[in-house]
Chains A and B, each alone.
Chain A
Amino acid sequence: NAGVTQTPKFQVLKTGQSMTLQCAQDMNHEYMSWYRQDPGMGLRLIHYSVGAGITDQGEVPNGYNVSRSTTEDFPLRLLSAAPSQTSVYFCASSPSGLVMDEQYFGPGTRLTVT
């Protein structure tokens, strides 16, 4: 199993550009989520999904969109990038959307918006 994979590893955007961060898992996990990590801070939840076709907002959803058309994939879209979105983005998955247990994290995407 590859576990949770994220692409790209690094990205530089100009203000106003759009892009999609990719996340995939091959563990047949129902629950997937996106976090951002800013310097000196813990991770904050952006969006999450308890199963295909179901998404919901986390703590800091503004400026981000998600969709979950398959169990395996959970892309995060930045519609119009802003410097405040410079951060490291982590995707995570866990087995069940109903009774969550361990979350497993991808390697992260380091995004810089200039």
Chain B
Amino acid sequence: GIQVEQSPPDLILQEGANSTLRCNFSDSVNNLQWFHQNPWGQLINLFYIPSGTKQNGRLSATTVATERYSLLYISSSQTTDSGVYFCAVRRLGGNQFYFGTGTSLTVIP
């Protein structure tokens, strides 16, 4: 398979702070997604971003496929941003997705 490592594993932020979450992967990929799992367990699509940069409101993501990493930026964090953030990748030529173990984010008021 492919190894997917996310850092940091846990993060506690004051409301309004900014953060950067990282996803490293061990092989070439042609598919990468970021998900937010909310406290009720629901998985919400944030970005489909095999390469390049995308922005959606306070969130943005950048994938540098040649260097095998992706970053998720959260600006002006809110308590509703709490939950676990996962990245998932598909190796070039493969059919399976591999997930990282996630970053658990807690935003306190």
Grouping DSSP codes into helix (H, G, I), strand (E, B) and loop, the B interface class, with mixed when no group exceeds half, is: strand
* CB-contacts of B27-44 with A (<8 A): 31, 33, 35, 41-43
Q: A45-B96, A58-B96, A100-B31 are in contact. Are A108 and B48 (CB under 8 A)?
A: no
Residues of A within 8 A of B98 (CB): 45, 59
The number of chain A residues with a CB under 8 A from chain B is: 25
Query: Could you tell me if B99 and A44 are in contact, using CB atoms closer than 8 angstroms?
Result: yes
Query: Could you tell me if B97 and A103 are in contact, using CB atoms closer than 8 angstroms?
Result: yes
The number of residue pairs between A and B whose CB atoms lie closer than 8 Å in the complex comes to 52
Q: Is B83 an interface residue (CB 8 A)?
A: no
* CB-contacts of B58-109 with A (<8 A): 86, 88, 90, 95-102
Query: Could you tell me if B96 and A59 are in contact, using CB atoms closer than 8 angstroms?
Result: yes
Q: Which residue of B lies closest to A98 (CB)?
A: B95
Q: Is B1 an interface residue (CB 8 A)?
A: yes
Binding site for A on B (CB under 8 A): 1, 4, 31, 33, 35, 41-43, 45, 48, 86, 88, 90, 95-102
Binding site for B on A (CB under 8 A): 33, 35, 40-45, 48, 50, 56, 58-59, 88, 90, 97, 100-105, 107-108, 110
17 A-B residue pairs with Cβ-Cβ distance under 8 Å, sorted by A, are A40-B101, A42-B88, A43-B99, A45-B96, A50-B95, A59-B96, A100-B31, A100-B90, A100-B95, A101-B31, A101-B48, A102-B45, A103-B45, A104-B45, A108-B42, A108-B43, A110-B41
